[in-house]
Structure 1
């Protein structure tokens, strides 16, 4: 049932690029490295299944997810979907002006950053409620700053960071582990207290 997931997929059609720029669709894709149903994804991101199902069909239509099977749950047949890749890169051959492609990349990244920040806040509040009931909630946060010489060095830093994290995940990933943890990387320009760069 599970199919091979590419490490990186180069997006070369405007339809796929536009689908990826929707933060909710990007979040859904990130949840489908392993096969899952619309209901499972919806539970994981605190959304209603109908909304997730709508976006899954849009992602399937442009070829970013595929159906990989079905399963019976009570009296229902759930369709299982899987993303075609772990990461997506916008191709420079989209025939859009280079400035437009860069602006789309930037806006898409910022939209996803906002979505992830809201998700972390919501999850943290729920976990704090559990900790109030004397349930131990292990967590960790890394917050640091780095000065980078320019766009090329920034891209190299992010690429190497992702490679290192992927190696760590592969090293410690446990199929029979009881606890599952969310790991998020965010890189953005540091702002002063007044909100100016």
Structure 2
């Protein structure tokens, strides 16, 4: 069953912005590009379902996720949730001073980066354990750096970067059942010790 989902959503309210800046809530949203239950999300991020359910209710309350159905699992009815969009952008029109908005963006991105790094480490350790029992665990990494001349150029680079990755994902995404799902995580951040001038 198809469900409508925006490619990008502009966050206009402080309540939505604060929800997005919570690393766990941002992680939950990233897991809801397809309909999923609290239990499924909890398994994916190694959390307890009750905690995920609490944060899902908070995300639903501010309009960042919505209920898209339910299903029977043994004696329980699981509610399925879907994020309203694949990516989120903080509006410059939020009722905060520009430097506050920028600081929130920076802090939120850094918090998400730390949470993502922890997730990669956890996933990699799990796959290392699996590799003891299987011949091959397919994976790939890309590590590069780029010098950007200004904040405007940095913003343009990130925007194009996201667009290109989304195009690539759409090109190779398969609807076939039973195919292995691969996690794709990309990050952009200042290089330690790099020239900031």
Instruction: Give the TM-score range, shorter chain.
Output: over 0.9
**What do the CA deviations read for 1:83-139 (whole angstroms, capped 9, x no partner)?**
111111111111100000000000000000000000000000110111122441010
1:181 paired with 2:182, answer: yes
**What do the CA deviations read for 1:146-185 (whole angstroms, capped 9, x no partner)?**
1100111111111111111111111111111621111111
2-structure distance, mates of 1:82, 1:74: 22
Unaligned 5+ runs, structure 1: none
Q: Could you say if the C-alpha distance between residues 13 and 86 of structure 1 is closer, same or farther in structure 2, counting changes exceeding 3 Å?
A: same
Q: Is the 8 A contact 1:32 1:82 kept in 2?
A: yes
Name the SS of the counterpart of 1:94 in structure 2.
Answer: coil
Q: Which runs of structure 2 are paired with 1:1-197 in the superposition (5 Å)?
A: 2-176=2-176, 178-192=179-193
After the TM superposition, which segments of 4 or more aligned residues of structure 1 sit over 4 Å from their partners? Answer: none
2-structure distance, mates of 1:134, 1:2: 35
Query: What is the RMSD of the two structures over their aligned residues, measured on CA atoms?
Result: 1.5
Q: Could you say if the C-alpha distance between residues 161 and 196 of structure 1 is closer, same or farther in structure 2, counting changes exceeding 3 Å?
A: closer
Matched positions, count: 195
Unaligned 5+ runs, structure 2: none
1-structure distance, mates of 2:71, 2:9: 28
100-109 or 165-174, which deviates more: 165-174
**What do the CA deviations read for 1:21-74 (whole angstroms, capped 9, x no partner)?**
001100111111111100011111111101100000000000111111111000
Give the structure-1-normalised TM-score.
0.95
174-183 or 4-13, which deviates more: 174-183
Q: Is the 8 A contact 1:2 1:35 kept in 2?
A: no
88-97 or 172-181, which deviates more: 172-181
Give the structure-2-normalised TM-score.
0.95
Q: Is the 8 A contact 1:2 1:34 kept in 2?
A: no
Name the SS of the counterpart of 1:36 in structure 2.
Answer: coil
